[in-house]
Amino acid sequence: MSRGAGRADAEPARPSFGAVEIITAKRDRHELSRDQIDWVVGAHARGEVADEQMAALAMAILLNGMDAAETAHWTQAMIDSGDTLDFGDVGRPLVDKHSTGGVGDKITLPLAPLVAACGAAVPQLSGRGLGHTGGTLDKLEAIPGWRASLSTEEIRAQLADVGAVVCATTPTLAPADKRLYALRDVTGTVESVPLIASSIMSKKLAEGTGGLVLDVKVGSGAFMKTLDRAGELADAMTAIGAAHGLPTTALLTDMSRPLGRCVGNGLEVGESVEVLHGGGPADVVALTVALASEMLALAGLPDADPAATLASGAAYEVWERMIAAQGGDPAAPLPVARHVETVTADRSGVFSGADALAVGTAAWRLGAGRARKEDPVQAAAGVRLLAEPGAEVRAGTPLLELHTDTPERLPEAHRALAGHALLVTADPPAARDLVLDVRRAG
Ligand code: URA
């Protein structure tokens, strides 16, 4: 299967199937044919297959799986349900990254301008957060004036001029995925590796990037809790990339602890700006540079030096232009929460670190995230970690701050952190590797 060889070009006579025969085929563990997949994905996107039938098929896929060929065809059918973008004329090699989502995962913010400062173009079409992991657009919307929605021509112009765009995905990009993802969300069918992999890859392939780096998170704060499951997802996505001729590399990275010290929209923007000024937490800097190196290799710029570029301030200059191009004021003060409460150690010992899921859930409860996609988020809400893992603490030493505009949410945040979320132990924590594995197709 090659990129751009979508079915829409030829517009063949479409075979028509019954949804029930496709559901029962997958229920009985048969491989679906390319024609069956094309038909059912397209017909659901057009409203010709009912949601309850697609939900039954999604459950059959969750239980019985799809092989690599079925998953690649499923991805192509979702791409073919909408438009594809082509930014091949912007004068720089195109490369993008996707993270499967983590707590404090603000890496896109320093990464996109850094990779642009090194000579590539980054067309990062992003989503909003749901649940305990934040969304990149929610973070950037904490910047006064910043606008997420751009037209295709605005994206093209910004890629040519600045080299980096982070904006909302367009409604016509893989619309079949939008409909199916909403259905999976309410039918317990999100956690299927072929469905997750095809959902993510259809959007990245439709966006027209020339190379893709995947940051597949592993641990309590991630979608995938174990290295095995994360490896399975990484392999499924790199295989789709290979089947579609898209050079794709996956890094499996630790998400047992939050990334950096800040979790929450405006707080994460502030921390990203520190990184762009050559400072910031060591784990955020290290992961930003590791992902940038992989992206630059895929973009055909292996000699670029992302660590030096970050330290030089050149990436910050691109950030300023990237934010201003979308109406934001990079110099404007970030919103500050009306209430800040400090959580302290309940005993003396060594602080082993904060659990990613507990901190992500606390930030979400404080108002940084949403439970339903129509909910608003608070720009200033979140958690700031004060103690470094490995620090000696006494009972009463401040460990973290809770930030919110709505103090009635504080008890829920405390509940999320109760138990073993903030470990104070007798022994220092084991050293943790940030990058756990690298997967490439083929
Ligand atoms: N993110 C996506 O875009 N799709 C999924 O299925 C899961 C996470």
Same domain, 102 and 187: yes
Domain that holds residue 70: 2-83
- 310, 332, 354: which is the final residue of a domain? 332
Residue 419 has a pLDDT of: 83
Same domain, 278 and 142: yes
pTM of the model: 0.94
User: Which residue in 283, 267, 266, 282 sits closest to 384, CA to CA?
Assistant: 267
Distance (Å) from CA 257 to ligand 1 centroid: 22
| Stretches in the chain below the pLDDT threshold 70 | 1-15, 130, 442
Residue 433 lies in a domain: no
Residue 272 lies in a domain: yes
Same domain, 299 and 350: no
Same domain, 143 and 279: yes
Q: What is the pLDDT of residues 390-425, one digit of tens each?
A: 999 999 999 999 999 999 999 999 999 998 778 888
Same domain, 237 and 356: no
181 ligand 1 Cβ < 6 A = yes
Same domain, 46 and 110: no
Same domain, 170 and 273: yes
Q: What atom of ligand 1 comes closest to residue 181's alpha carbon?
A: 6
Distance (Å) from CA 148 to ligand 1 centroid: 20
d(CA 286, CA 275): 10
Which residues, 6 or more positions from 187, have their beta carbon under 8 angstroms from its beta carbon? 55, 58, 59
Same domain, 33 and 157: no
200 ligand 1 Cβ < 6 A = yes
What is the number of structural domains in the chain? 3
Distance (Å) from CA 423 to ligand 1 centroid: 31
Same domain, 133 and 236: yes
Residue 440 lies in a domain: no
Same domain, 288 and 155: yes
Residue 304 lies in a domain: yes
CATH label of the domain that carries residue 61: 1.20.970.10
199 ligand 1 Cβ < 6 A = yes
Residue 435 lies in a domain: no
CATH label of the domain that carries residue 112: 3.40.1030.10
Same domain, 282 and 203: yes
Best mutation site among 196, 223, 229 for ligand 1 pocket (most ligand atoms within 8 Å of CB): 196
Distance (Å) from CA 98 to ligand 1 centroid: 11
Distance (Å) from CA 199 to ligand 1 centroid: 5
Residue 436 lies in a domain: no
Residue 432 lies in a domain: no
- 286, 305, 332: which is the final residue of a domain? 332
196 ligand 1 Cβ < 6 A = yes
Atom 6 of ligand 1, residue of closest alpha carbon? 196
- 271, 298, 332: which is the final residue of a domain? 332
d(CA 223, CA 239): 20
Residue 185 has a pLDDT of: 86
Distance (Å) from CA 204 to ligand 1 centroid: 11
Give the residue numbers annotated as catalytic, written as ranges. Answer: 98, 177, 184, 199, 203
Best mutation site among 105, 195, 199 for ligand 1 pocket (most ligand atoms within 8 Å of CB): 199
d(CA 304, CA 438): 20
CATH label of the domain that carries residue 405: 3.90.1170.30
77 ligand 1 Cβ < 6 A = no
Q: What atom of ligand 1 comes closest to residue 199's alpha carbon?
A: 4
Atom 7 of ligand 1, residue of closest alpha carbon? 196
Same domain, 56 and 107: no
Residue 78 lies in a domain: yes
